[in-house]
Amino acid sequence: MRTAAVVAIELVLSMTPEWFDGLTEDRHALRQHPKFIEWVDTSIAWARKEFGQNVIDVAVHMDESSPHMHVLAVPLTQEGRLCAKEVLARTELMRRQTSYAKAMEPFGVQRGVPAKVTKRRHIKLTEKPQGGGKASELAAQLAAANSTIAQLQQQVQQLQGLNVDYSRQITALEKRIEQAQRLATFEKQIKAEMAAKKPRRDLPDDQETAMALFLEKHKALPYCTPQEASGGSLVASEGRFAVLHLGHGRHALVEFPSAQAVQELARGQQQGPGRAPGR
């Protein structure tokens, strides 16, 4: 036997969907219908008559609109040779179609008109239909559907891009709001202390006022913690607040633990760049 020889062939046996629906449209109940069982038995008997003991498997499938039977057989010729080419010859296929239709006549069905008589030609999926007719109409509908799918896919990609952009903008706005809330809290705290005439122990009254004015002047800047602004260069300061240059034209308002921490930063930058005060 050749190593590339075909050792099994598959046949699909079925009836029209209308015949099965005529028994019952319930596919689950169809399995128990006497006529359906008779069709299964008759089809198996026909397959065994055609291939004898060479039938190696039979399976009934209910997963499509037309229930059908798969028959697996070894392609042996009458002389006992393994030759799928002979068993599946066009003349043999036509003969089996006619033979199976003959076996199905008791069920009230008949064989379709052979293509040899109708001159019908199989149209491949990759072949563009010529002329008018149903095939041409379906091809046009398919082309329109594919075009619509492509447009929808493009729109989905655009929407996904917008979603990412909006997410970034929302995140940036939320951060700005958080920074503004922190700054407002600081200003409120200082103003409350000034109104109550309770100066901080580390700052005299005039420095409290100067610090409030400093915050008012630079409140448009984003707020950062000392850790976030680590490595920034001191631009201006008042009390425990300072404006740092973070590079690339970016500035931030930073609150340090104390005015002494700001002074340490200033001294550190005079000695060498890149030093940040510790807590």
Domain boundary among 71, 105, 120: 120
Question: Are 184 and 108 part of one and the same domain?
Answer: no
Helix (H) or strand (E) holding 187: helix 134-195
**What pLDDT sits at residue 274?**
46
What's the pLDDT at 36? 93
Parallel, antiparallel, or unpaired: how do β-strands 233-238 and 9-14 relate? Answer: unpaired
The domain that contains 100 carries what CATH number?
Answer: 3.30.930.30
Instruction: Give how far the C-alpha of residue 112 lies from the chain's centroid of Cα atoms, to the nearest Å.
Output: 44
For the four alpha carbons of 36, 42, 46 and 51, in that order, the dihedral sign comes to: positive
Query: For residue 28, what is the enclosing H or E element?
Result: helix 27-30
Domain boundary among 85, 120, 155: 120
Crossing angle between the packed helical segments 34-51 and 90-104, to the nearest 10 degrees = 150
109 with 187, same domain? no
- Strands 223-224, 250-255: parallel, antiparallel or unpaired by DSSP? parallel
SS3 220: coil
Distances (CA, A) of 126 to 122, 123, 129, 136, 235: 12, 8, 9, 13, 71
Residue 66 and residue 64: Cα distance in Å, rounded?
A: 5
Interatomic CA distance for residues 209 and 140, integer angstroms: 79
Closest CA to 216 of 245, 190, 195: 190
Last residue of one domain, picked from the residues 73, 100, 120: 120
- Residue 58 has a pLDDT of 94
Give the whole-angstrom CA distance, residue 68 versus residue 14: 5
Residue 11 has what pLDDT?
Answer: 92
8 A C-beta contact, residue 176 and residue 170: no
What CA–CA distance (Å, rounded) separates 224 from 243?
10
Whether residues 114 and 182 share a domain: the answer is no
Range of the domain at 189: 178-271
My answer on whether 113 and 211 are in the same domain is no
Has residue 207 been placed in a domain? yes
Residue 42 within any structural domain of the chain:
yes
**Structural domains in the chain (count):** 2
CA-based nearest residue to 253, from 176, 173, 144, 159: 176
Given a contact cutoff of 8 angstroms between Cβ atoms, the answer to whether 97 and 103 are in contact is no
Q: 13 in helix, strand or coil?
A: strand
**Do 112 and 184 have their domain in common?**
no
The reported pLDDT for the residue numbered 70 is: 95
Q: Which two tokens stand for residue 29?
A: 């109940």
HSE-CB at 140 with a 13 A cutoff on CA atoms is: 8
How far CA 19 is from CA of 23, 25, 29, 107, in Å, comes to: 7, 10, 15, 9
Shared domain check, 24 and 113: yes
* Sites in the chain below the pLDDT cut of 50: 202-204, 274-279
106 and 184 fall within a common domain: no
Reported pTM: 0.44
> Please, how many CA atoms are within 13 Å of residue 253, restricted to the half-sphere of its CB?
22
